[in-house]
């Protein structure tokens, strides 16, 4: 089971993705919450856990798009000056290549929120079981 843990400390958002065994998921989440509270001296403002239901690699979407744009940009004339036209096309192709290169290894994920609580570290011993109880009551 793949879980995304999002938490906010002093206005800064953090994200952690873990793979948890179904049988030990609550224990693992409880340990993560304790470690986060200890690391940030209990100053965690928000804490949420989402189950990652589906992941889709962006490379499958981006590459055909980038290839089409690059190929069709050769048909477009940006300037009457041949040198300027060549420079613009080179910059456009390089930019598309850099953006596509960064996005190729990225993923889009669909998530289902499981837990969302404010100030999870206020208790002496933060427990994921308490968070789940609070979540169900809301």
In a domain, 65, yes or no: yes
Q: Is residue 138 part of a domain?
A: no
The reply to whether 14 falls in a domain is yes
Instruction: Tell me if 137 is assigned to some domain.
Output: no
Domain tally for the chain? 1
**For residue 136, is it within any domain?**
no
Quote the DSSP letter at residue 11: T
Q: What span, in angstroms and rounded, lies between the C-alpha atoms of 119 and 122?
A: 6
pLDDT in tens, the chain (138 residues): 888 899 999 999 999 888 878 888 888 888 888 999 999 988 999 999 998 888 777 666 656 665 566 555 566 777 788 888 777 777 777 776 666 666 666 777 788 888 888 888 876 555 666 666 655 555
Q: Is residue 118 part of a domain?
A: yes
The domain of 70 spans: 2-130
State the pTM of this model. 0.56
């Amino acid at each position: 089971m793949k879980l995304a843990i999002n938490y906010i400390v002093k206005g800064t958002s953090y994200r952690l993705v873990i793979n948890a065994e179904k049988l030990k998921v609550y224990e693992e989440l409880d340990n993560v919450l304790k470690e986060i509270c200890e690391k940030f001296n209990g100053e965690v403002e928000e804490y949420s856990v989402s189950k990652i239901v589906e992941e889709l690699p962006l490379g499958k979407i981006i590459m055909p798009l980038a290839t089409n744009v690059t190929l069709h940009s050769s048909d477009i004339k940006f300037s009457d000056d041949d040198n300027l036209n060549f420079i613009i096309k080179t910059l456009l192709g390089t930019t598309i290549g850099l953006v596509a290169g960064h996005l190729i290894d990225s993923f889009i994920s669909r998530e289902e929120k499981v837990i969302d609580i404010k100030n999870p570290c206020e208790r002496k011993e933060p427990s994921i079981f308490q968070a789940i109880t609070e979540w169900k009551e809301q």
